[in-house]
Every structure is written in C-alpha cells, then in structure tokens.
C-alpha cells in the first residue's frame, strides 16, 4: 500500500517537476536558507498543528524582538529606547508649542504663544521641524533595522568546521583561532561557540542580543539595538542631527527667554514660559553628552575604527610600533565616504522569509530520497542542547506509550494533496545553544541515518523540539510499509483529513518498537552527555 | 565513479545527498566578500579544477563589484541620505541588484556545469555569506560507497 503511495507521489512529483523546481528555486533565492533556528517556545502539542507557514523571524535564535511581522527588529530591552523617544518628543513638542511655532498669533503676554515665529522669523520652526523629522527618521532607522547580524551556522557547516579544527591539532584543546593577514597586519579570527562560526574580522558577538554582528560597533541601549555594519550610518546621522537639534533648541529657547526678559524681566519671563525651563535643562545635559558622542564617532569614522576596536586599543601604536589599522583607506575623506556613503549590504538573516522544509536539492519527495531526507532532517536538527531535550522526551514518550496510541498516525499523504512541498510545512531547526557542542553524538546519528534506507515521507516536518530524529527514522526499517510511524510526529502532520485506519493499525506495533528503541537511545544519549 | 546526471531535476529526483563541501571566506583583503580559490580535495575526481576556480573567481568579482566604493555608490548613498533613505522603499540598492545577478549566475552554472557532475552550488547569501556550499550527490544505485564515506568522515570528527 505504501508502494502505491510512493508511486502516486512520484507521479505527482514528475508532473509538477518543472514548475516545482522553479518554485523551489525562487523561494530559496528570495527567502534564503532555513537558518538553524528554533522557536523559543513550543507552540505545538499533540492535536495542535500550525498550518500557516511560519516566518523565519519567529524562530530566530538570537535574543531579539520582532514587530510588524518581522519588519522591525530590536534588542530585548527597549526601555531606554522609549526614554529616548519621550525625551526627544517632549522637548521638541514643548519647543514647537511654546517657543517656536505658527506665525499667526502675536502676543507679548500670553504664554502659549508661538513667540519666536512671530517675533523673529518663521524659518526657525521650519528648520527645527526639518531637523526633528530627520532625527526621528534616523532614530527609527537605526533602531529598527538589522545591524548586520550573522546567521548561525547550519549543522553541516558546524560539523565541517569541527572536523577541520580537530584535525588541525592534536593538542588539547584544539586551537579555536585563525590568523589571517590583512593588508600586512595579522588579525586573529575567533571561533564563536554560540554561532559556531569563525567570526569575520571586525565582527563581534553581542552578549545582550546573543548574535554575532558584522563590524560590531557597540550595543546602544538608547537606540535599543546593536550598532553594526548596516545601521552605523543611521546611528551616526542620528546623533549628529540630534546634536544639531539640541543645540538649535537650546539656542532658541535661550533667545526666547532673553527676548521675553527684555520686556518683562527675567523672573517673570521664566514664569510666563515654564516649558522653556524644562527644555533648557534637558538640552543642557544632552548637549554635553550628545555633542561629545558625535565628536567621538566623527573621529572613529575618519580613522575607520569601531568603538569596539578603539576601546580595546586594537590598532593603537601602544601595542606595537608596527600596529596600524589595516582597514583604513589612509585618507580621512575616503574613510568618511566609505562609512557613510558606501554600499548598504542587505540583511543576511531574511526575517520575513517563509520557513520551508529544506533547500531544493534535498527536498525531493520520491522513494529513494529517504537517506537524503534523513540527512537533511538531521542536518537541520542537529543541535546539542536539543539532543538532550530530545533524549529526555524519548524516554518520557516511551513511558507514556499507552497514552499515545490513542492518536492515529498518518504520515502518508493522500495523493492529490502533495501539492507544494513547502506548503504547510513548518520546518524549524533547533537553536544553536551556547553550550559547547557534543557534536560527536550528532555525527554518529547522522551517519547512521544516512545508512538507513528507510523510506519516509516528507511529512517529517519537525516542529521545534519535538522529536524528530534519527532514532525513529532508523527503526522502521523493519516495518512493512517502510513508512515511519513515530507517534511523536502525529501532531505535526499538516494534512487536515482524517487518518486512514488501516495504516494506523499497522503502525502501532512499529511505533511501539520505535518508541522503545527511542527510549533506549534517549537514555544512552543522556548518559553520554 | 562520477555518475552522469542530465539535468537538475533528475539530480534532485533520483540522487541522494552524500556530503557537503564548504569553501570558506578569504579575508586576506579585509572584510570584502571573497571566497577562497583553494580547490577542496573532496572534489578531486568530481570536477575539473579550472571550472570550479573559474566559478569562484567570477563570484568574487561580482561581490567586489557590489561592494565597490566609487562614484556610483557615493551617488546612491548621498541621494538616499538626502531623501532620508525613503528612496530605498522604491529603489533597489546596487548591492541587491548584483545579488540577483549572482543568483542567476549560480543557477546557470548549476544547470550547465555542476548538475551533470552530480554537484550543486548553494548561493552564499542563503548561508549568510559565510561559505560557498557545494553539495555532492550520488546516484542512488551506486549509493553503497556513499554512506561509508560520510560515516568515516563523521567518525573522524569524533
């Protein structure tokens, strides 16, 4: 019976082949690869299935917050950002209302009058308005955009790197740095344990956001985000324009108070416009800090350094006579232009892409792709911490076996429903945790699964942590249908139709075997960890 | 040992993934995106050196073009700044245009050169520009050798 299913699938496959390939191809190129990521909370439990395709931001492994369906990306702590917003809006609002705006009314005595516009020139609030809009625009751009986060390594890459590292040296521990010569200067590339990559030069791992960021400058709480390659220019323009705005408001509020006090005396002028006092106080303190910061960043830009490098003194001559910045273009103007007007690279994390089952070459549905599928699944789900979670779950599942059999297990799709591969597939790869990897376990499992020529249907859509795994995939080699029946997967099945009774009946003994095997494996894995 | 595949569909359809080879980034010229042109040993009997080197060199030149700091990028940057970056809502940046060209190039290379040899190149943008991933496929019929090769590579990692 499964043969029929397979045949039907194959047919389906072939019929849809050309279009499907293109569809897969475009999707992968536009949506990016499934980065190894995992949903932070398990939303699925037996009986619940999410049929809507999920977006990658929902399973992003870093500690970021996303809004507007992935369009806006910020750090976890945004309290200080709201403070920044409030300060700017309040001060500017007070300025425009009480000191600057509309040139219609003219009065000497009323406090809420737009003083400066009528007494000096309406250009003042106009320029102020432009500055304010620019400041807010740059603030939002700096806060909401991706600073240049490097996506974490896929399990295959991580395994490959581990292989290279381990084979490189026999000493323990193996060296986790690489040296590279850039423009005559030796730069050390460090291995990031969380992201499982060798960090590119100038990249750094932000502990607050738990991401590696390219050209990491610093994590700015005022902006509520990291400042890195993609949003440094927005950050710089924000602080530059904010310093102009602050100086502007400060200057004109002082002017306002002076003009008023010429007429009515100093103290009564202050009494007449209390808002001015608040504005002066806020601006006074802001000017020192913001103008100072702008000056500092102007220096950094002109020497093409990041805050991180400057603080560590990476390129200072104190470290060595021959120490120099290999990234600098030598010319202040070129450095400035490169930082501010250089090309803006696109985001590497593809927040709004849809999560798919996998990349094109491993996504084929026909019979023989079981091993590729298995390796794909494994590849995508190899995660150390999750291994442990899975192991525990297997043990628990084995214990709860009688309870699980009440649920029908249908994994073979009915032929008409194969449709797009991706379809309602909610593919999630586990997060890369910050624990040192027990990559060894992972590799054995992967190899074992590649060995097995079990047929599974693609409906091994793995929802987060629940189970997936190798072990279940190996065991059903013994089942007659050759289809995997892991009761753990049942709730993941995206098909809405009711289960076919006969396969379910046949699946039960197989699944029981599978569970028992799983629990054994789970225990073994737990003990090995 | 090299199996003949005639097109990408056949590759996807009847082949099984054996292993993946990763070509790492070359940082010798700074943070510019470049991939190493060193030929990976696993591909020794799968593809000619010159073909792969040609592909990598072309990709490197595309990336260099995308990240080039010159007249056009300055113009784009200044224009964008003047419009408070709103212009990027309507216009595509030069980098994005080049990335699209690169995807097209990779697809073409896959169809013409790599798929017939049982290989598939993944666009680096899908791997966060960290690596150039080349997947090795084996025809399922001759799949006997493949699991052992991956197993041996797996166990050596431990």
Q: What is the band of A178 on the pLDDT scale with cuts at 50, 70, 90?
A: confident
Rg over CA atoms, chain A:
30
Q: Omega into A173 within 30° of 0, i.e. cis?
A: yes
| Alpha-carbon gap, residue A449 to A472, rounded angstroms | 10
Q: From B147, which residue of chain A is nearest by alpha-carbon distance?
A: A451
What backbone torsions phi and psi does residue B81 show, to the nearest 5 degrees? Answer: -65, -40
| A164-171 CB contacts, 8 Å cutoff, 24+ apart | A165/A191, A166/B157, A167/B156
A238-260 average pLDDT score: 90
- pLDDT for the residue A490: 40
Minimum-distance CB partner of B30 among A33, A201, A443: A201
Q: How many CB atoms lie within 10 A of CB B97?
A: 13
Of A123, A56, A68, nearest to A351 by C-alpha is A56
Query: For residue A527, what pLDDT is reported?
Result: 56
Q: Which pLDDT score, from 0 to 100, does residue A503 have?
A: 45
Residue A168 touches chain B, beta carbons under 8 Å: no
pLDDT level of residue A516 (50, 70, 90 thresholds): low
pLDDT digits (tens, 9 = 90+) for A392-421: 555 666 565 555 544 444 444 444 444 343
Interface predicted TM-score (ipTM) of this complex, two decimals: 0.83
pLDDT band at A317 (very low <50, low <70, confident <90, very high): confident
Question: In this structure, is the dihedral angle defined by the CA atoms of residues A100, A102, A107 and A112, taken in order, positive or negative?
Answer: negative
* Largest CA-CA distance found in chain A, in angstroms, rounded: 99
What residues contact A444, with CB distance under 8 A and at least 6 apart?
B154, B155, B158
Q: In angstroms, rounded to a whole number, what is the distance separating the alpha carbons of residues B126 and A29?
A: 7
The mean pLDDT value for A497-508 works out to 45
pLDDT, residue A519, reads 56
pTM for this predicted structure: 0.66
Taking the C-alpha atoms of residue A194 and residue B12, their distance in angstroms, rounded to an integer, is 32
Q: Out of A134, A181, A371, name the one closest to residue B16 (CB).
A: A371
CB < 8 Å from B in window 425-454 of A: 439-440, 443-444, 446-447, 450-451, 453
> What phi and psi, each to the nearest 5 degrees, are found at residue B113?
-110, -45
**pLDDT beyond 50 at A292:** yes
**pLDDT given at position A464:** 41
User: How many angstroms separate the CA atoms of A350 and A355, rounded?
Assistant: 10
Q: Is the pLDDT reported for residue A349 higher than 60? A: yes
Nearest to B28 among A182, A214, A360 (CB): A182
pLDDT averaged over chain A? 68
Q: What is the pLDDT of residue A123?
A: 81
Task: With beta carbons less than 8 A apart as the criterion, state whether A370 and A81 touch.
Answer: no
Please check whether residue B74 touches A, CB under 8 A. yes
């Amino acid at each position: 019976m499964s043969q029929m299913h397979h045949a039907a699938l194959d047919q389906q496959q072939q019929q849809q082949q050309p279009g499907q390939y293109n569809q897969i191809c475009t999707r992968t190129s536009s949506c990016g690869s499934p980065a190894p990521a995992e949903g932070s909370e398990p939303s699925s439990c037996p009986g619940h299935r999410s049929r809507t395709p999920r977006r990658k931001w929902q399973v992003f492994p870093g500690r970021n917050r996303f809004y507007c369906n992935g369009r806006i990306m910020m750090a976890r702590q945004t309290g200080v950002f709201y403070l920044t917003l409030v300060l700017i809006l309040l001060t500017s609002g007070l300025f425009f209302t009480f000191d600057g705006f509309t040139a219609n009314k003219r009065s000497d005595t009323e406090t809420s009058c737009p003083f400066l516009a009528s007494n000096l020139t309406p250009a003042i609030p106009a320029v102020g308005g432009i500055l304010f809009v620019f400041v807010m625009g740059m603030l939002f751009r700096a806060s909401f955009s991706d600073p240049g986060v490097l996506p974490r390594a896929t399990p295959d890459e991580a395994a490959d790197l581990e292989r290279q590292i381990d084979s490189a040296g026999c000493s323990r521990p193996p060296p986790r740095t690489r040296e590279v010569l850039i423009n005559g200067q030796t730069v050390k590339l460090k291995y990031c344990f969380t992201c499982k990559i060798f960090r590119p030069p100038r990249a750094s791992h932000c502990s607050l956001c738990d991401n590696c960021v390219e050209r990491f400058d610093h994590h700015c709480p005022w902006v509520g985000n990291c400042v890195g390659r993609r949003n440094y220019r927005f950050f710089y323009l924000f602080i530059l324009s904010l310093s102009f705005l602050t100086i502007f408001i400060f200057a004109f509020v002082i002017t306002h108070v002076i003009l008023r006090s010429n007429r009515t005396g100093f103290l009564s002028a202050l009494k007449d416009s209390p808002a001015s006092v608040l504005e002066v106080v806020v601006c006074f303190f802001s000017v020192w800090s913001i103008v100072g910061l702008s000056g500092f960043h102007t220096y950094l830009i002109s020497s093409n350094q990041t805050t991180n490098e400057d603080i560590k003194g990476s390129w200072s001559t104190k470290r060595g006579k021959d120490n120099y910045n290999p990234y600098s273009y030598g010319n202040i103007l070129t450095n400035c232009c490169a930082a501010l007007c250089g090309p803006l690279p696109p985001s590497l994390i593809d927040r709004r892409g849809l999560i798919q089952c996998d990349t094109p070459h491993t996504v084929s549905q026909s019979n023989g792709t079981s091993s590729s599928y298995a390796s794909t699944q494994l590849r995508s789900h190899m995660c150390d911490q999750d291994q442990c979670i899975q192991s525990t779950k297997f043990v628990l599942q084995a214990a709860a076996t009688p309870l699980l059999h009440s649920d029908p297990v249908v994994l073979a799709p009915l032929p008409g429903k194969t449709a797009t591969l991706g379809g309602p597939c909610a593919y999630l790869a586990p997060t890369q945790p910050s624990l040192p990897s027990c990559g060894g376990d992972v590799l054995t499992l992967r190899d074992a699964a590649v060995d097995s020529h079990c047929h599974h249907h693609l409906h091994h859509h793995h929802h987060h942590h629940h189970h997936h795994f190798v072990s279940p995939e190996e065991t059903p080699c013994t089942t007659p249908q050759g289809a995997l029946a892991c009761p753990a997967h049942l709730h993941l099945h995206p098909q809405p139709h009711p289960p076919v009774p006969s396969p379910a009946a046949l699946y039960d003994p197989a699944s029981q075997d599978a569970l028992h095997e799983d629990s054994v494996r789970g225990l073994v894995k737990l003990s090995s960890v | 040992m090299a199996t003949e595949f005639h097109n990408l569909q056949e590759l996807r359809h009847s082949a099984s993934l054996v292993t993946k080879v990763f070509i790492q980034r070359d940082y010798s010229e700074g943070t510019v995106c470049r991939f190493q042109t060193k030929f990976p040993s696993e591909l020794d009997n799968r593809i000619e050196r010159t073909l792969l080197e040609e592909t990598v060199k072309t990709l490197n030149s595309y990336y260099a073009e995308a990240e080039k700091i010159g007249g056009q990028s300055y113009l784009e940057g200044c224009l964008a700044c003047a419009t408070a970056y709103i212009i990027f809502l309507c216009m595509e940046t030069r980098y994005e245009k080049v990335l699209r060209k690169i995807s097209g190039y990779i697809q073409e290379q896959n169809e013409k050169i790599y798929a017939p040899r049982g290989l598939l190149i993944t666009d680096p943008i899908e791997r966060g520009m960290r690596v150039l991933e080349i997947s090795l496929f084996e025809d399922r019929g001759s799949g006997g050798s493949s699991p052992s090769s991956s197993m041996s590579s797996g166990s050596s990692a431990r």
